Structure formats: C-alpha cells, structure tokens
Amino acid sequence: MAVTDEAIEKIKGMIVSGALRPGDRLPKESELAAALGLSRNSLREAVRALSLIRILDVRQGDGTYVTSLDPQLLLEALSFVVDFHRDDTVLEFLAVRRILEPAATAMAAARISEQQLDVLAGQLDRLGDAPSVEELVAGDLEFHRGIVQTSGNSVLCSLLDGLSGPTTRARVWRGLTQEDAVSRTLHEHRAILAALRDRDAEAARSWATAHIASVEQWLRASL
C-alpha cells in the first residue's frame, strides 16, 4: 500500500478512535508528516483527499482542522459523486427518492409547524402559475427540502439532498417537455401542502408518492 494511502488510513484511525475530535486542529503539515513517516508532499495528498469529502477543513495561513463530522456535512460529498452518474441511471435514483421522500413527508406531517406551513405556502404563491423552468427547478428543490428538513432525521434529509440535488433535478426537468408537467407539478405541491396542514400523514405520503411517480412516468416515456 502506498504511503499516502497509509496516511489516509492513519488519519481516519485517529479520528474514529477519538484521538482527534471534531473541531480539533491537526499538527502542522511538516510535523504530522514526520510523525507518520512520510514527506510533506505525500501527506498533502492524503489531506487533500480527506478534505474533498469534508473530513478535514484546511485553512490557508491558519491550520488544518477536523470538521464537525455532521451527517449533513459528510453527505454533502454525496452530491459531488452523484454528479458523475450517467443519464441512464437517473431512473434508479428517482426510484430511491420515491422510497425515501414519501416516508420523509409522512414524518413531517406530525412535526411541521404552522409557521413553516405558511412559509411553504408563500413559496408556492410567489412562484405563480407559469414559472420558467429555472424558477420551477429552484422552487421544487426548495419546497421538498423545506418539508424533508422537518422530518427530524438529518441523515435522511442529507441523503435526499444529495440524491436529488440541483444537477440531478435539472437533468430530470430537461427531459420533461410535456405541456402540462408544470401545472400538474404545482397542483401536486399544493396537495402535499394541504395534507400536511391537515396533519394527515397517510395522505401526505400518498401525494408525495404520486408526485414522484408521475415525474417518473413522464421521464420514462420521454427517454
């Protein structure tokens, strides 16, 4: 195994074992390199790799720190990876979202506050009846994220965020050319919101499932 890979494993070990805790500062590069028995260049490759996936936070002129290691932060790296997938796997990602999002929406029904409901309603109102594709994609993202965030499970929230981030969603909408796609989407969003306001978890789950299923159906037909 290359010394750089060893260094990655050792740094990982120091964090997992608790020797390095979230927020801790690492020894400076030259010292850590000496301690791990490799050159500064090779160590930097290890640090850079761990920094890409948000394990470490490198600040020029200051030092290198362990991040908070929050699920939200670590799963951010997921969207980076998801960007690489080819178009022909979009349907598989959508199928996973179809499993997760209805569950998250149902969980939100019991927890969402009146204030948050009003915020979501305001979003939909501002979007109007005939938004542009860019506005719709942004609004769609914001709407679902707002709901999922109140599910109370940060892992679930981050996972959905990563799986259906801006890039994926844009790819989906690029494939949706049907006339009534926009109006049906807006209608379904309002139905989900109404179910949440009624605290009806099952209705919310069903509307969320139907919402994603219809997107899936359109997409399957247009591929």
Partner DNA sequence: GTCGTCCCAGACGTCCGACGTCTCACGTCA
Partner DNA sequence: TGACGTGAGACGTCGGACGTCTGGGACGAC
Where on the chain is the footprint of its own copies (CB under 8 A)? 2, 4, 8, 12, 15-16, 41, 44-46, 48-53, 55, 60, 69, 71, 74-75, 77-78, 80-86, 89, 92-93, 95-96, 99-100, 103, 153-156, 159
Query: Among 104, 105, 100, 90, which residue's Cα sits nearest to residue 188?
Result: 105
Select the residue interacting with DNA from 22, 30, 126, 130 (CB under 7 A): 30
Tokens 């938004």 identify what position?
131
The rounded distance, in Å, linking the Cα atoms of 132 and 167 is 17
Could you give the 3-state DSSP secondary structure of residue 25? strand
In the complex with DNA, which residue's Cβ is closer, 39 or 214?
A: 39
In the complex with its own copies, which residue's Cβ is closer, 65 or 93?
A: 93
The rounded distance, in Å, linking the Cα atoms of 51 and 153 is 25
CA 111 to chain centre: 21
Nearest distance in Å: CB 197, its own copies: 23
CA 130 to chain centre: 27
Q: Which does 3 bind (CB under 5 to 8 A by kind): its own copies, DNA, none?
A: DNA
In the complex with its own copies, which residue's Cβ is closer, 42 or 185?
A: 42
11 token code pair: 């740094």
Q: Kindly state whether residue 52 participates in binding DNA, applying the rule CB under 7 A.
A: no
In the complex with DNA, which residue's Cβ is closer, 29 or 76?
A: 29
Residues 142-181: x/- map of binding to DNA (CB under 7 A)?
----------------------------------------
The rounded distance, in Å, linking the Cα atoms of 71 and 52 is 15
